[in-house]
Amino acid sequence: MGLNASQKIIKNHLVKGEMIPGKEIAIKIDQTLTQDSTGTMAYLQFEALGIDRVKTKRSVAYIDHNILQSGPENADDHLYIQTVAKKHGIYFSRPGNGICHQVNLERFGVPGDTLLGSDSHTPTGGGIGMLAIGAGGLDVAVAMGGGEYYVNMPSIVKVNLTGKLSPWVTAKDIILEMLKRLTVKGGVGKIFEYTGEGVKTLSVPERATITNMGAELGATTSIFPSDDVVQKFLKAQGREEDFYLIQPDEDAVYDEEMEINLSLLEPMVACPHSPDDVVPVSELKNIKVNQVCIGSCTNSSYVDMMKVANILKGNTVSENVSLVISPGSKQVLTMLAENGALASMVAAGARILESACGPCIGMGQSPSTDAVSLRTFNRNFEGRSGTKSAKIYLVSPEIAAASALTGHITDPRTLGEYFDIEMPSKFLVEDNMIVDPSEDGREVEVVRGPNIKPFPKAKALGEVVEGKILTKVGDNITTDHIMPSNAKLLPYRSNIPYLAEYCLTPCDEDFPRKAKENQGGFIVGGSNYGQGSSREHAALAPLYLGVKAVFAKSFARIHKANLINNGIITLVFENLEDYDKINVMDELEIKDALTQIDNNIVIVSNKTKDEEYRMIFDATDRQRNMIRYGGLLNLVKRINN
């Protein structure tokens, strides 16, 4: 039986387990990436493992998130990351060099290799045929130390692309179509592998837009098998030698199949406040726009920016619109500067930001109260922009640029004749903002600013786990709800005690107070609890506040792993009606926890209501041990000693 491309890469990297969907496998990791908002914690954890030098083929630390420096905290953390990277064999991408996923694609990604990144959009690397997975910082720290990565073998979905995109219809519209069909939880436990005649019509950055936003489907990852389009891209990046052909066998078997006819797609928009609330742009009439943001790891490539520059050229941004543009990398920005496209943008009235995440993570440019903001980004969760009442729409660069000119949401097809931008046959390659690690780490002193506080560590499981229900939330709660991240909070990513004061406050302002007054307790969540980012802080802050377990209708993949890695039990209601029976401040208890933790069904008693609930503990043996011994760090230390 033939293998698909995902199975081939997994097979080449398989350390433990069998490739049976749903069963745990362990894979060897070739490359890792971190960014600064998760990196500080990941490197503190790496240091806690006591390993001198990374054991991967390549590990890179990027600075792209915590870019505004309104106090010393971010700059201090950058210095910590720079020095810890130098010491332990990690390449350092300096601030200004670009967004981790864009730079990784340009400079380091290798088809057929595995990449583990402490950022949920790491699957962007699937655009050149890497098996690229997002994970919590601790998992990445372990991988840097040479440890394998554990994940349940995903089912592989063949997405057959037929036809060809019509003018003004883009890669963004393909992934928005996927989100419309499958929703934000439709990809949990899956890899989307794109095949079919439509694939060859898509450039590497277009493919990367699609694999990037596969994260919004909840997918483990997405991948385009490598082909001559990838080979040309790598050649244009001056690294043809990194090309490796990875294609599905002719008789490859997939767990599921679906088809998208590119010729039938039209320009789409994801409406507030969810990436799956997708409608054709033609349905949105007379919606005034206050802000347009172009950039992010989804849509900030050279070609994206050139399209925007072409639309803006010779025009002026509408009087009531603030247009901000952040090109994805130094490479992109320099090329735009050299060919004059940057001048067209500036002349039209665009506000140019540095090559970084910026507004995507609320690092500045929060819109005005009740504003409509159009963004080429990947997430439009309520409040993520830094303005709770703002309405964020996710769109292609073409829709964004057209709307910036007209001042209302605009179908780009009204712009008239389409122009095509060629992929460059040679990119401007200059890696002078990437710092090599030291040959001998012993001579490097790691600089630690005062903002770095010790991170909480889980404790071994006791015989009884008891406490009150501290809060109860609904479906699709994001990690942006659990651990909000905006320009004011991001500087404290290495200070969990400070961050914990804001834990879950968008849903329940009193949560931190209740948790402290009751010496911790439990959280009740709906379905897809913890969707979105990989930020481990959404597990570390609850851990710090004494949360012992989360009971939910279902969990998002990365957040569930982060909770267990940090010793927090994740239980799913066997009978969904039990969710309705539990109230805030009910007292719950897990008796014989040490024995029950080995079972698939855990009985939880509600002492207040005198009821019992059957809950599913869907975990591997290794995860059960993590709960038993107090998290992944403790487990790794036990194994090493």
Residues that bind ligand MIC (CB under 6 A): 37-38, 65, 119-121, 361, 485, 532-535
- Cβ proximity to ligand SF4: between 67 and 569 the closer is 67
Residue bearing tokens 């107070």: 513
Mark residues 68-87: x for contact with ligand SF4 by CB under 6 A, - for none. Answer: --------------------
Tell me what percent of the chain is helix, strand and coil, each rounded to the nearest 5. Answer: 35, 20, 45
Q: Give the one residue of 161, 361, 465, 571 binding ligand SF4; rule: CB under 6 A.
A: 361
Query: In the set 169, 360, 483, 564, which binds ligand SF4 (CB under 6 A)?
Result: 360
Tell me which of ligand MIC, ligand SF4, none is bound by residue 296, counting a contact when its beta carbon lies within the kind-specific cut-off of 5 to 8 angstroms: ligand SF4
Out of 305, 357, 458, 543, point to the residue binding ligand SF4 (CB under 6 A). Answer: 357
Place of tokens 């990297």: 13
- Residue 124 binding partner per list ligand SF4, ligand MIC, none, with a CB distance cut-off of 5 to 8 Å that depends on partner kind: none
142 is an interface residue for ligand SF4 by CB under 6 A: no
185 versus 535: smaller Cβ distance to ligand MIC: 535
Cα–Cα distance measured from residue 557 to residue 178, given in angstroms and rounded to the nearest whole number: 19
DSSP state of 265: -
Three-state DSSP state, 428: coil
Report the alpha-carbon distance of residue 638 to residue 632 in Å, rounded: 10
CA 476 to mean position of chain CA atoms: 16
Site string for ligand SF4, 293-322 (x = CB under 6 A): ---xx-------------------------
Count CA atoms within 13 Å of residue 138 on its CB side: 27
Q: Which does 38 bind (CB under 5 to 8 A by kind): ligand SF4, ligand MIC, none?
A: ligand MIC
Q: Assess contact for 43 and 333: CB atoms under 8 A.
A: no
Amino acid at 9: I
The closest alpha carbon to 58, from 90, 13, 102, 106, belongs to 90
Residue 99 binds which of ligand MIC, ligand SF4, none (CB < 5-8 A, kind-dependent): ligand SF4
Q: How far is CA 26 from CA 18, 148, 153, 480, in A?
A: 9, 6, 9, 29
Residues 198 and 218: beta-carbon distance below 8 Å? no
Stretch that binds ligand SF4, among 128-136, 153-161, 175-183, 357-365 (CB under 6 A): 357-365
Q: Quick one: 123 or 198, whose CB is closer to ligand MIC? A: 123
CB of 59 closer than 8 Å to CB of 84? no
| 420 three-state secondary structure | coil
Please tell me whether residue 378 binds ligand SF4 under the rule CB under 6 A: yes
In this structure, what token pair is assigned to residue 12?
A: 């080449």
Residue 31 interacts with, from ligand MIC, ligand SF4, none (CB under 5-8 Å by kind): none
Q: Exposed, middle or buried: residue 108 (CB in 10 Å: 0-12, 13-18, 19+)?
A: buried
**Which is closer to ligand SF4, CB of 10 or CB of 333?**
333
CB of 532 to ligand MIC, least distance (A): 6
Least Cβ distance, residue 96 to ligand SF4 (angstroms): 15
Distance CA 345, CA 314 (A): 9
The interface partner of residue 535, options being ligand MIC, ligand SF4, none and the CB cut-off 5 to 8 Å by kind, is ligand MIC
Nearest residue (CB) to ligand MIC, 479 versus 623: 479
Which among ligand MIC, ligand SF4, none contacts residue 211 (Cβ within 5 to 8 A by kind)? none
Applying CB under 6 A, does 169 fall inside the site for ligand SF4? no
Total binding residues toward ligand SF4, as defined by CB under 6 A: 11
SS3 180: helix
202 binds ligand SF4 (CB under 6 A): no
Using CB distances below 5 to 8 A depending on partner kind, what does residue 485 bind out of ligand SF4, ligand MIC, none?
ligand MIC
Bridge partners (DSSP) listed for residue 465: 590
Considering only residues 99, 144, 179, 208, which one is a binding residue for ligand SF4 as defined by CB under 6 A?
99
Beta carbon of residue 486, minimum distance to ligand MIC (angstroms, whole number): 10
What six digits make up the tokens of 532? 């979105």
Structure tokens at 127: 């655009």
Query: Is residue 324 near ligand SF4 by the rule CB under 6 A?
Result: no
Question: 252's torsion region: left (phi>0), alpha (psi -120 to 50) or beta?
Answer: beta
Interacting residues toward ligand SF4 by CB under 6 A: 65, 99, 119, 121, 296-297, 357, 360-361, 377-378
